[in-house]
Amino acid sequence: MSLTTGMNDLSALVVEPSTMQGRYITDQLSRLGVSRVRNASNAGEALRAMRDARPDVVISSLYLADMSGTELVRSMRDDAELAEVAFLLVSSETRMHVLDPVRQAGVCGILPKPFDDMQLKTALRATLDYLNQDSLEAETDIELDQLRVLIVDDSAYARRFIRRVLENLGIANFIEAANGKEALSVLGDGYVDLVVTDYNMPEMDGSELVKFIRTQSWQRSVPILMVTSESDEGRLAAVEDAGVSGICDKPFEPAIVKKILRKILAQA
């Protein structure tokens, strides 16, 4: 993938069955300086276009003629050549059970339909943060490449996305677990410097994991960052009370993760 230092450098593929909506998105991108834009009307056409010339970011509708946007991003994540391409979803859908699988696939943002310039600019900035390296090394006395980070999420796609963002910040050593139960096994075997966990997982969820670490683990003081699509304020408040070090939404803006990590590492 080409180096993308700013929006003018981005190459985008817009996947939209409506010609009018596709033109609207292209015009919005142009106003923000993104001029290298191609269009596809369905997922099959999009995948062929990506393999012909890999874009930096795919901006896709949720409902396509041949598959959903969720299936499209999963197809990309399962393809070694396309796995690291950034993905933005554009949809008027608001139902959690429909959008959550997209969030779990590792996307840079979900835009409403229609969206405004500011919403698109925020999503593109998150995309650039995902694509580019911006190490925290100069901002902390900690040698980031020596940190051992445990990523806990039942979605392999989400773990890969989180790992990519953290690698861009200068972190290099990772251990992965698919749920809280696996994470406890890892924590029992060796020391880690940071835990990044999802909330909703089988076997043992993020809330139970946080409570166990803070009350029973020999690593009770390890910093814990929760990255989650959970929206229940009561549940999140309980997690905060249990001792989580920071919480951010999924999909998240890498800049927010960087800000939270800066605070967490300063206290470590």
- The tens digit of pLDDT for each residue in 59-76 reads 999 999 999 999 999 999
pLDDT winner (highest mean) among 132-136, 164-168, 211-215, 227-231: 211-215
Is 222's pLDDT higher than 50? yes
Query: Are residues 224 and 243 in contact, defined by beta-carbon separation less than 8 angstroms?
Result: yes
Residue 69 burial (10 A CB sphere; 0-12, 13-18, 19+): buried
Is 2's pLDDT higher than 50? no
In the Cβ-directed half-sphere of 187, how many Cα atoms lie within 13 Å? Answer: 28
How many CB atoms are closer than 10 A to CB 167? 14
Q: Where are the domains of the chain?
A: 7-131, 137-267
Q: Mean pLDDT across the stretch 21-30?
A: 96
Report the chain's C-alpha Rg in angstroms. Answer: 19
Give 7-131's CATH code, choosing from 3.40.50.2300, 3.40.190.10, 3.10.20.740, 3.10.20.340. Answer: 3.40.50.2300
Least confident of 83-87, 115-119, 246-250: 246-250
Q: Mean pLDDT across the stretch 95-117?
A: 91
Please state, in angstroms and rounded to a whole number, the distance separating the CA atoms of residues 230 and 153: 13
pTM for this predicted structure: 0.87
CATH topology match: 7-131 vs 137-267:
yes
In CATH, the number for domain 137-267 is 3.40.50.2300
Give the sheet arrangement for strand 86-90, strand by strand.
Answer: 36-40, 11-15, 57-61, 86-90, 109-111
Q: Mean pLDDT across the stretch 96-107?
A: 90
- The tens digit of pLDDT for each residue in 111-166 reads 999 899 999 999 999 999 899 877 665 566 667 778 899 999 999 999 999 999 88
DSSP secondary structure code for residue 41 in this structure: S
Q: Mean pLDDT across the stretch 247-264?
A: 79
